[in-house]
Amino acid sequence: MAEIETTDAAGTVSTDVTTIARAWLAQDPDPETRAELEALLDAAEAGSAEAIADLHSRFDSRLAFGTAGLRGRIEAGSARMNRVLVSQAAAGLAAYLLEREAQPSVVIGYDGRKNSAVFARDTAEIMAGAGVRAVLLPRLLPTPVLAFAVRHLDVSAGVMVTASHNPPADNGYKVYLGREDDGSQIVSPTDAEIAAHITRVAAEQNVLELPRSDEFETASEDLLDAYVDATARVMTTPPVELSVVYTAMHGVGWETFSRVAEKAGLVPAVPVAEQQFPDAAFPTVSFPNPEEPGALDLAYAKAREVGAELIVANDPDADRLSIAIPDDSREEGYRQLSGNEVGWLLGWRAARKNEATGTNDGALACSIVSSPALRVVAREYGLEFSETLTGFKWVSRVPNLIFGYEEALGYLVNPETVRDKDGISAAIDFLALASEAKAAGGTVGGMLDDFAEKFGYFASDQLSLRVTDLADISTIMAYLRAEPLQQLGGVKVDEIDDLITGFGRLPATDALRFVLADGSRVMARPSGTEPKIKFYLDVKRPNSKRSEASGVLAAIKADLAEVARRATA
């Protein structure tokens, strides 16, 4: 076989990728990934160019531990998710916690994805073996329950094993910090500090020799009861009889959602039976994300069958929420609301609830790629407004927060309980909003019209360009910086803000903001979790001229697609 010099995950230069792979194999405790890697090595050593290329893709780099933790495809290799990588991550995180505290503690949760329970138990055993008090959740549960547990148990940190709404073959590893961090996800420079410990473990230790202990704790059902009780209190409106269809998207949301809804006094939702319970194969969806085309088809069918007034969808780990409402003009009979529309309505509800307390103290917050509409709501109600970098790790840390969201279906409606996006509490809050509308003789669609009448008509859209060569993302961003856009959709570009060196109070991030002469806005940024570059488009018009918005959005999208094509030609 051809010998290509490479650098392994521990930083050691080798002239043979098979040497690195065999060293990895020697410490892999998983029979499945061992067999997979052995077969790949056999093929590579027999001269298969395809196998050699596959080995390089797995071992030429390491799955980066960043502010989103770890996320990747379950396969053997340092650039994949597997028991070796997770064991190194657990040992590195334990070392970080022990460096910070004399007696650190951690709570560990997991969802229904492949290997989630295995990765969680590995983490608990390694943490306990290192001298960290470890508490494992009693069974697979939603991410918001883990985020709640970090604060409820007053532990140093939390780990959630989940890949959220990623493709079925993926898994991931999210880290939260307790105490002064209030149970929020990690941010820089904590990610780099943890990553340094993980790298040291990978370089110096065989994971089979890491100290392990089964002296970890298992949380009692009281923890889930406490989450259910706290989340049910989000239902501050007297419930009315609503016909609701619910889908868990083959994830872990159904049990917890249904318990919270019952506690809140809501009529039981009708589940989409085919997607009701955890299934790591995700047999009815190729991409278990409520935003993806076709993901809600079964929910639409069930809603038509029962005449539902509302569809509620969680993603597989139930930290995101999607809503659909009846719409006779559509073939499905329902219209899925955008993340921004749900965010506007919940933010408006939060502002009204806050006003009813007799104070105007508090802040509304959203990410830089979310609609500008929430800023208008905050101004109307005399509230603070904060715009954050993309990611709930930033939204959740806004001082005096009463509501925060990001357009990717993430909402935080009860920051005193959970400091992360929570698709279950957000669902309960939205059902409270829908109950309020129905009690007044209205609908959710009518509330959207009321919002446009009061605050103006906001229209949002996205252009997501998936790439096969990751270098194309940098190429497009560099082109946009080198060749500043003069107009988009026939409208002059008035202002370009480059966030790569920071902007205002925002930390630096690889993003560009284009402000158009008519007040429209476009954000461009690489995706943090997928091989995509994303453009976020927002147009505002007076409600009387709302019909203009769709044409402006379409023209801007066409121009951006052409710019991306030229950049990579």
One domain for residues 142 and 227: no
Closest CA to 515 of 492, 546, 484, 490: 492
> 99 and 53 in one domain?
no
Q: Can you give the pLDDT at residue 518?
A: 87
Residue 435 is a catalytic residue: no
Bridge pairing between strands 532-541 and 521-526? antiparallel
Give residue 21's domain range.
1-61
Quote the number of domains for the chain. Answer: 4
- H or E, element range at 39: helix 31-45
Q: Do 435 and 492 share a domain, yes or no?
A: no
Are 516 and 538 in contact by the 8 Å Cβ rule? The answer is no
What burial class does residue 284 get, using C-beta atoms within 10 Å of its C-beta: 0-12 exposed, 13-18 middle, 19+ buried?
middle
| CA angle centred on 481, ends 477 and 487, rounded to 5° | 105
Chain centre distance of CA 3: 40
Distance from C-alpha of 391 to C-alpha of 396, rounded to nearest angstrom = 9
How long is the chain? 569
- Residue 377 has φ and ψ, to the nearest 5°, of -60, -45
Q: Considering Cα of 372, then 375, then 376, then 377, what sign does the dihedral take?
A: positive
- pLDDT score for 6: 38
Out of 87, 105, 156, 164, the active site residue is 164
Last residue of a domain, one of 410, 428, 455: 455
Q: In terms of domains, do 313 and 406 share one? A: yes
Say yes or no: 306 and 423 in one domain. Answer: yes
Let me know whether 199 and 299 are in one domain: no
Predicted pLDDT of residue 13:
34
Q: What is the CATH number of the domain that holds 418?
A: 3.40.120.10
Residues 292 and 411 reside in one and the same domain: yes
- 327 and 441 both lie in a single domain: yes
Which of 150, 184, 219 is where one domain is finished?
Answer: 219
Q: Residue 25's CB: how many other CB atoms inside 10 A?
A: 17
Are 503 and 472 part of one and the same domain? yes
What are the tens digits of pLDDT across the range 28-70?
A: 999 999 999 999 999 999 999 999 999 999 999 999 887 778 9
CA torsion angle 423 429 434 437 (round to 10):
-150
Q: Alpha-carbon distance 373 to 454, whole Å?
A: 11
SS3 535: strand
**Alpha helical stretches, state H, 309-368:** 339-356
pLDDT in tens, the chain (569 residues): 223 333 444 433 344 899 999 999 999 999 999 999 999 999 999 999 999 999 999 999 999 887 778 999 999 999 999 999 999 999 999 999 999 999 999 999 999 999 999 999 999 999 999 999 999 999 999 999 999 999 999 999 999 999 999 999 999 999 999 999 999 999 989 999 999 999 999 999 999 999 999 999 999 999 999 999 999 999 999 999 999 999 999 999 999 999 999 999 999 999 999 999 999 999 999 899 999 999 999 999 999 999 999 999 999 999 999 999 999 999 999 999 999 999 999 999 999 999 999 887 899 999 999 999 999 999 999 999 999 988 899 999 999 999 999 999 999 999 999 999 999 999 999 999 999 999 999 999 999 999 999 999 999 999 988 888 888 999 999 999 999 999 999 999 999 999 998 777 788 889 999 999 988 899 999 886 678 899 999 999 999 999 999 999 999 999 999 999 899 88
* CATH number assigned to the domain comprising residue 511: 3.30.310.50
552 and 472 in a single domain? The answer is: yes
- Is the domain of 399 the same as that of 485? no
Are 408 and 475 members of one domain?
A: no
**156, 158, 181, 301 from 151: Cα distances, Å:** 9, 9, 9, 39
DSSP assigned state of 186: P
pLDDT tens readout for residues 469-479: 888 999 999 99
What is the SS3 string spanning 101-166?
CCCCEEEEEECCCCCHHHHHHHHHHHHHHHCCEEEECCCCCCHHHHHHHHHHCCCCEEEEECCCCC
Domain boundary among 204, 219, 234: 219
Specify the pairing of strand 401-406 against strand 410-412. antiparallel
